[in-house]
Amino acid sequence: MIAVLAFLLGCGTYGLAVGAPSGHGAEAAAAAPAPVVGTSPRAGATDVPPNQPVTLTADHARLAAVVLQASGGGPVAGTTSPDGRSWRAQAPLQYGTTYTWSGQAVGDGGTVPVTGSFSTVDPARTTQAQINIDDGETVGIAAPIIVQFDHHVADKAAAERAMTVQTSIPTTGSWAWLDDDNGGSRAHWRPQGYWAAGTQVSVAVHQFGVDDGGGIWGAQDVSSHFTVGRAQIVKADVNSHEMIVVRDGKVVMDFPASYGLGSDPNRNTTNGIHVVMSKAQTVLMSNPKYGYNNVPEHWAVRIENNGEFIHANPLTDGVQGSENVTHGCVNLSTENAQQYFDTAIFGDPVEVTNSPVPLRLADGDIADWTVPWDQWVTMSALAA
């Protein structure tokens, strides 16, 4: 009798549902949880930055027929995860647009609709950013990266966080914000020392959806990929009356030259590291204070916006190599000027030494190398 009783007790325990309340039946099963849908941005959100990630998630269910529809436009491209439990937008949103969800979340606990909407910020003004170095360009070893904004950037830290520089050769560098007299803002990135020859550089300015402050938002992303070319440096010692060109460590040109008249501070060739900015076969040069206007000068390489060039000047041929008589430019013979002209590219450094008048940051658009490195890094909006 004891053995039979034990068998009967075991059969009664086996048929109970785990966790079922007492008295509700041995075969009752636990109810499956209902699907739960979450969206980011949240339903009803306004002034959403259009670069914010957009996601949809489902707990206890799989998503079906999910669509994010733009007002006045088509659906936003997106992908569903392999397990069917999440969806992510793969295309950027737009400014000033309402987006509405549709679809379903289907699970063992039932089906719930995917609903809700949100809207993106509608800025009163946007700013365009432009990178000074074109995609595919080859530049010299002193070339700065310049990002020019066509509106004033109030939140420079936000703008700078969205700008990146990647290099094929490890390169220490920093952004610095410089004065802009044209109503916009400009940021320069330069390496601590000259670029290494052959460096591949990728610049990305992620401005779309960035709040630059003062009611101004970034209009669009821009980028550039360029190459640092050979290491060509002009050595311009004003006391030597010569101009030496060094390429990849070897002297390739050594020309007689005439520099700015030393007795007139307004005519001195300024001391410091200049950067080749542009060149033209003929440039009309004027200096009314000294009595000349629109004088054509040939094989002209601009090294600063303050009027300094390296160019041919047959009028000084007789003193090149022995006397400084110019109005601040570096004068060469026509033959020598053309030979140098043919090799010069944007970003080549021109190192002027032994002049009593220094090149200053305020003298032109590219005087970055006049600023000591420890000062340059403090000009970043993200400086500690």
What pLDDT does 1 receive? 34
Q: What percent of the chain has pLDDT over 70?
A: 92
Q: Which residues are catalytic?
A: 311, 329
Spatial neighbors of 57 by CB under 8 A, at least 6 apart, are: 37, 38, 39, 85, 86, 87
Q: Which amino acid is at 300?
A: A
Planar angle of CA 73, 78, 84, nearest 5 degrees? 135
93-104: pLDDT as tens digits: 999 999 999 999
The superfamily CATH assigns to domain 232-367 is L,D-transpeptidase catalytic domain-like (2.40.440.10)
- Mean pLDDT, the chain, as a whole number? 91
Query: Does 350 score more than 60 pLDDT?
Result: yes
Query: Does 7 score more than 70 pLDDT?
Result: no
What pLDDT does 278 receive? 98
Query: Does 18 score more than 80 pLDDT?
Result: no
Long-range contacts of 203-207 (CB under 8 A, 24+ apart): 203/131, 203/133, 203/145, 203/147, 203/163, 203/164, 203/165, 204/163, 204/164, 204/166, 205/129, 205/131, 205/147, 205/162, 205/163, 206/51, 206/162, 206/163, 206/164, 207/127, 207/129, 207/159, 207/162
What pLDDT does 20 receive? 36
pLDDT band for position 291 (50/70/90)?
confident
What pLDDT does 16 receive? 23
pLDDT band for position 233 (50/70/90)?
very high
Query: Does 25 score more than 80 pLDDT?
Result: no
The pTM for the full model equals: 0.86
Q: Look up residue 329 and give its two tokens.
A: 């430019």
Strand order in the sheet with 138-139: 138-139, 222-228, 200-205, 163-167
Q: Which CATH number fits domain 36-119: 3.40.190.10, 2.160.10.10, 2.60.40.3780, 1.10.3210.10?
A: 2.60.40.3780
What pLDDT does 28 receive? 43
Query: Does 182 score more than 90 pLDDT?
Result: no
What pLDDT does 384 receive? 73
CB 54 within 8 Å of CB 88: yes
Give the domain ranges of the chain: 36-119, 126-229, 232-367
The mean pLDDT value for 166-175 works out to 98
26-69: pLDDT as tens digits: 444 578 999 999 999 999 999 999 999 999 999 999 999 999 99
- How many other C-beta atoms lie within 10 A of the C-beta of residue 342? 9
Domains 36-119 and 126-229 share a fold: yes
What pLDDT does 183 receive? 80
d(CA 91, CA 10) in angstroms, rounded, equals 61
What pLDDT does 10 receive? 33
Spatial neighbors of 116 by CB under 8 A, at least 6 apart, are: 39, 42, 43, 44, 100, 101
Spatial neighbors of 313 by CB under 8 A, at least 6 apart, are: 258, 297, 326, 329, 331, 332
Query: Does 310 score more than 90 pLDDT?
Result: yes
pLDDT band for position 149 (50/70/90)?
very high
Query: Does 202 score more than 90 pLDDT?
Result: yes
Assigned CATH topology for domain 126-229: Immunoglobulin-like (2.60.40)
pLDDT band for position 9 (50/70/90)?
very low
The mean pLDDT value for 10-38 works out to 53
